[in-house]
Amino acid sequence: MPGLVQASPTQAALRIRNLRKTYKDVVAVDGLDLEICSGECFGLLGPNGAGKTTTIEICEGLTEADSGEVDVLGLRWSSDAPALRQRLGIQLQETQLAEKLTVSETLRLFRSFFRQGPGAEEAIRVVQLEEKRDARVGALSGGQKQRLALACALVGDPDLLFLDEPTTGLDPQARRQLWDLIEEFKAAGRTILLTTHYMDEAEKLCDRVAIMDHGKTIAQGTPRELIASIGVEHVVEFSAGNTAVDLSGIRAMAGVRDVRTENGNVLLQVTELHKAVPALLDELTRQGVPLTELRTHSATLEDVFVHLTGRHLRDE
């Protein structure tokens, strides 16, 4: 992968080879390979049920794999679990911390589990919960709870930080606040593995991403590389109300890579927006189709996922 520091064996913070995990008759992880370099923020992007959480929990030593190799910071769970626990910072999906404890009591509790690391007060400052230090956890907002969960992951001064869906369920402002925090961790040189099903989150935070579907990675690289790989720069979406559109005419237009219909709308993947839009308007006029809606956006990781799977990230 060009443009980034190549993962060499000595630098890999996390290396996964041919990982498999099956629950009863559901294959959660199906031959996964990953390599994460020291100091990078790596994103596992994929829809619900793609195997992201299972993968991250195997890396965290909470779930046992059926087969495959997992090296974390050069150590193995089977032989080095106590040492590994000291060096990992973990934020799980949907953990509810004890509601009756205050913010600072919670952090002192978690701090007491680690040999070394910043004090509770330091962690409170980092996640900007100073004003809430004596508030009960039960009285915090969703975003504040999530920041506290991050602080709990930081009190052991981890070499590797696992964040499982850190912003799921938060309002836009709280998400943005959390992103700023994660950016700070990145700037401080921490290695981060995060999972998300928000493509904007992955694009904003991650140096590299792996797109997962059905327990496998279907694409890997920097967000920019992945978007470029589908050969599409823009997406045009329009609606013609209830009037039928002849899609073959649109497909024949220059610079159009793909045409799909979705919820009554037509989506075009195009390379040159400034040529495609006038051509589209001409074609619709020729067909006598009235335009009720027209939108364009630059291609995103979502489009990469749609391109690769024909489905949306948030489809169930």
Partner 1 sequence: MSKRNFTDHALVQLTLMRMREFIREPEALFWSMIFPIALAAGLGIAFRNRPPEVLKIAAVTPHLAEALRREKLLDVMQLPSELAEQFIRTGKVALVAEPGADGSVIYRYDDTNPEGRQARMLADQAIQRASGRQDPIAGNDQIMREPGSRYIDFLIPGLIGMGIMGNSIWGPGFSIVDARRKKLLKRIVATPMPKHYYLLSFLVWRMILLPVDVGVPLGFGILVFGIPLRGPIVALVGTCVLATLAFSAGGLLIASRVRTIEAASGLMNLSMVPMWILSGVFFSSQRFPDLVQPVIKALPLTAVIDALRANMLQGSGFAQIAPQAAVLGAWLVVCFGLALRLFRWR
List contacts with partner 1 (CB under 8 A).
60-62, 82, 85-86, 88, 90, 92, 94-98, 100-101, 105, 108-117, 136, 152, 156
CB of 79 to partner 1, least distance (A): 16
Q: Can you read off the two tokens belonging to residue 137?
A: 């956890």
Residue type, 243: T
Q: CA 142: distance to chain centroid?
A: 19
CB of 104 to partner 1, least distance (A): 12
CB of 75 to partner 1, least distance (A): 13
Residues 6 or more apart whose Cβ sits within 8 Å of residue 294: 236, 237, 238, 239, 277
Beta carbon nearer to partner 1, 62 or 308: 62
Residues 6 or more apart whose Cβ sits within 8 Å of residue 176: none
CB of 122 to partner 1, least distance (A): 12
Beta carbon nearer to partner 1, 78 or 116: 116
CB of 9 to partner 1, least distance (A): 27
Helices (H), 155-294: 172-187, 199-205, 223-229, 247-251, 273-287
Q: How many CB atoms lie within 10 A of CB 265?
A: 14
Distance CA(47)–CA(202), nearest Å, equals: 13
Beta carbon nearer to partner 1, 126 or 211: 126
Is the distance from CB of 42 to CB of 55 less than 8 angstroms? Answer: no
CB of 86 to partner 1, least distance (A): 5
Beta carbon nearer to partner 1, 81 or 281: 81
Distance CA(303)–CA(32), nearest Å, equals: 23
Beta carbon nearer to partner 1, 190 or 234: 190
Beta carbon nearer to partner 1, 101 or 135: 101
